[in-house]
Structure 1
Amino acid sequence: MDRVIYNFDSLPLRQTATPAPKRRAIYRAHRTSDPRIGVIYNPRSHRNKGQDLACTGSDRITVAQPRTRNEIFHALSGFARDGIDFLVINGGDGTVRDVLTIGQMVFADRWPAVAVLPKGKTNALNVDLGAPADWSLEEAMKAYHTGRRLVRRPLAISREGDDNPPMLGFIFGAGAFTLGIETGQDAHSLGFFNSLAVGATGAWGVLQALFGTDRNKWRRGTEMDLRFLPSGESVPRSAFGNPDRRSVMLASTLERMPMGVQLFGAPRPGFKLAVLDHPRRRLLASLPAILTGWRPRWLSDAGFHQLDADGLSIDVAEAVILDGEAFPAGRYRVEQGPDITFVSV
């Protein structure tokens, strides 16, 4: 699972997938007294050193260490044939994205219960689910019986003209968010990880936007056309900045964000959208208060929009980001994927 630019045609073919029933209502994985457990273990994840493999000797536990997306597909297909009740993903947000994306071709809308061991450099999904940052496989196995169960629907992102299954993930963004991810990689190299990396990256971006000119890449924005789905209606826009550009676009189905940031407004379920039209200095100066819950009446008129949606169409001239990975410019549909039951403490 190397870090590469994600190509849609790198996914296994849809016709090799195991068929499953279509979604009719929220599907919740059932508890069983003696579950079969499948573990996807990414040895390259930032915090993995093999220690979680010490408790995998039971014949009820199957561990796979895939290194490519095709290997993920074959591992998950084997888990499905075994009839697993519990899928444990040991890795960071990128590992989760790859497993969910490929898993939809195996499990469709009837997933086993899923736990995420947060072993990557950033673990935004785990922040939302509320599992400990040092959660182990042994603790996750106990939580299968005693822990909380939370239903989440990942974003489903498909590129226009592509016949492959959509990608599943939890944070999709464009504009300065793409620059922020690039800066975040530099933050990781300096030793900043998890919420600390998010904070360092965000602070750097705000400083660039506050003190730079409109020629600065942090201020000039990215050409993008945003429309709600299924209506096709344009996403609201203020009068500030180039009308063909937006500074930042972010979409997510997470309810809680790292560091408690209220990027999308008050915590709530569903598809949420945050859009910054142009980085006006007055708005940026107020951003720390806004992201901790302050909701001035002038916010949308000033160019910062916090919205709910069923889906989004985006036509964007520069790369976009899904859960930390870059994808090429183009036209995308961003909707909601299947219901997945996650296990937490």
Structure 2
Amino acid sequence: MVRIALLSNPRSTGNRAILPRIRSFCANHPEIFHYEVEHVDQIGAALRTIARVEPRVLVINGGDGTVQATLTELYDSDFFRGAPPPVAVLPNGKTNLIALDLGATGDPIEALARVLELAKGDLAEHVVTRELIALSHEPDGMTDSLRPVIGMFLGGAGLAEVMLYCRNKIYPLGLPNWLSHALAAMALLVTLVLGLRAAFLPLKAQPVKVSLIRQGELHGRFSLLIVTTLRKLLLGSSIANGSRTGALQLMVIDQNPWALLRALFAGLFGRLGNGLVRGVHFGRGDEIRIEGDRSSVILDGELFQANTGRPIILRQTSPLPFVRLAA
């Protein structure tokens, strides 16, 4: 009996070292159906095959791009006839925000063993629902048929530039993830505090306009722009405030060092989103529009650009079940 289906992408950075152990673990547990893809374009075919074995849990083992592509296929297709199994994400990417939100931390093998243990019993108390972000562009008559891209975490403004800087300049150095992220954060602070501009530093964020339907708009240069449906972010902070749940959550920080430092300290002490912080703006909505002059945004690792007159549109999707590993 297949209890879990494991979808792995051998080409993801984290799998280069861990995949032999993953394969060995699966070989010793026949109740795991392991499917490997060489490219994200093969994920649709993989899910079609996985649906035939009717797993109790679908486990994703790959980087941010693998997770995003899998969520997009689950949203856009009906491989499981309207009832997809709950999804678990192994902690195997660069940032692991989705895995962190679901309580999956540490060794991916241990997380996989934990999922298998849960799949043998009553899953109901471990299943949570998360809405997703559907990203699309304003139709222009040529791209109306393009399907939305699905994810759970979008970074824009200065955050997107720092993420690109980290990806293109720091990750190639082969440093540990925590050190890479620390160096990227320091580079951001240097650009904000000292106002330096150089080839070895992140690019300056472009002005953007962020609109929440029926709730007004923000316009200017920002050091950080986040839209997410996750409950937990970096440093264990959360921007889920208020009584509503499930809507898109927005956090924007003005482009000045003091606003960023105030937000950082509020996050460290668990107060981010629970009170007013000068220079930090929060919002919630079912639709958010981002417009700018070639302003970059990154949704779960994939780069998009918001342009003047053709904004990026973010909409909330229906809930998808996930397996939460933490108690």
TM-score range, shorter chain: 0.7 to 0.9
- How far is the alpha carbon of 1:202 from its aligned partner? 2.5
Give the whole-Å Cα distance in 2 for the aligned partners of 1:195 and 1:224.
29
Residues 36, 85 of structure 1: 8 Å contact kept: yes
Q: State the 1:275 CA deviation.
A: 1.0
Q: CA deviation at 1:326?
A: 1.1
Moved more, 334-343 or 216-225: 216-225
CA distance in 2, matches of 1:149, 1:112: 10
Which of the residues 254, 259, 274 maps onto 2:230?
254
Distance 1:36 1:213 in 2: 54
**SS of equivalent to 2:216:** coil
Q: How does 1:201-220 map to 2 (within 5 A)?
A: 201-212=184-195
Partner of 1:112: 85
Q: Which amino acid aligns with 1:38?
A: A
Distance 2:261 2:235 in 1: 19
Q: Distance in 1 between matches of 2:36 and 2:243?
A: 35
Shift in Å, 1:211? 1.2
Aligned to 1:42: 9
Structure-2 separation of matches of 1:250 and 1:63 = 34
Residue of structure 2 equivalent to 1:155? 133
Amino acid at match of 1:183: Y
Change (3 A) 1:214 1:110: same
Alignment of 1:1-345 (within 5 A): 34-48=1-15, 49-57=19-27, 60-104=31-75, 105-106=77-78, 107=80, 110-136=83-109, 137-146=112-121, 148-161=126-139, 162-185=144-167, 186-194=169-177, 196-212=179-195, 221-229=205-213, 231=214, 233-235=215-217, 237=218, 243-262=219-238, 269-270=245-246, 271-277=248-254, 279-292=255-268, 293-294=270-271, 299=277, 302-317=278-293, 318-330=295-307, 331-345=311-325
Alignment CA distance shift 1:83-1:264 (3 Å): closer
Could you tell me which amino acid in structure 2 is paired with residue 176 of structure 1?
G
* Distance in 2 (alpha carbons) for counterparts of 1:196 and 1:338: 37
The aligned amino acid for 1:76 is L
CA contact (8 A) 2:161 2:296 kept: no
User: Cα 1:53–1:297, aligned 2, differ >3 Å: closer, same or farther?
Assistant: closer
Q: Deviations over 1:14-39 (max 9, x none)?
A: xxxxxxxxxxxxxxxxxxxx544322
What is the alpha-carbon distance in structure 2 between the residues aligned to residue 215 and residue 197 of structure 1?
Answer: 19
Q: Separation in 1 of the partners of 2:25 and 2:73?
A: 26
Question: What is the deviation of 1:253?
Answer: 0.8
Calculate percent identity across the aligned residue pairs. Answer: 27
Q: Deviations over 1:152-191 (max 9, x none)?
A: 1221112222323221111112211111112222332344
Helix, strand or coil at the partner of 1:133: coil
* Alpha-carbon distance between aligned partners in 1 of 2:243 and 2:8, rounded to the nearest angstrom: 31
Q: How many residues align?
A: 301
> Matched residues in 1 for 2:42 and 2:92: separation?
20
**Which stretch shows the higher mean deviation, 82-91 or 218-227?**
218-227
Q: Which blocks of at least 5 consecutive residues in structure 2 are unaligned?
A: none
